[in-house]
Amino acid sequence: MTKSFSDLTESAKVLVLRLQRGQTTLTDQHRRWFVDDPKAAKDAVFSDALGRWDALEQVFRCAQPSGCIWGPGKSCPEDAPVICHACLRQS
Ligand SMILES: [Zn+2]
């Protein structure tokens, strides 16, 4: 059963907000990289950020084993360079 996000503990809420914000930033950086924007993050910085996002998502899964980070019934954006475990399982 998927818990509603309002049932999450405060620390899990902080985690999910960081994941949502992180995914948005990574998606933006990925888009910049794709068009050779000089403001795009360097490859090493970007892959490091991807790794940290992934580690954070694993911690979040201890509190919320199912459902997308964007909430029940939602899914990660298709152009995101990283997607959550729940969306990964569906793709
Ligand atoms: Zn998702």
Residue 14 CA, ligand 1 centroid: distance in Å? 16
- Is the model's pLDDT at 81 over the cut of 60? yes
SS3 of 46, please? helix
* Residue matched to tokens 């992934």: 54
CA of 80 to the centre of ligand 1 (A): 10
**Packing angle of the helix pair 10-34, 43-63 (nearest 10 deg):** 150
Instruction: Spell out which residues have Cβ within 5 A of ligand 1, the ion.
Output: 68, 76, 84, 87
Tell me the C-alpha to C-alpha distance, in Å, between residue 70 and each of 22, 34, 43, 84, 87. 12, 25, 27, 9, 10
SS3 47: helix
Instruction: Specify whether the backbone of 36 is left (phi greater than 0), alpha (psi in -120 to 50) or beta.
Output: left
Determine the pLDDT at residue 2: 57
70 CA to centre of ligand 1 in angstroms: 6
Tens-digit pLDDT profile for residues 4-50: 777 788 889 999 999 999 999 999 999 999 899 998 989 999 999 99
| Interval between CA 85 and ligand 1 midpoint (Å) | 7
CA distance 50 to 55: 9
Domain ranges of the chain: 10-90
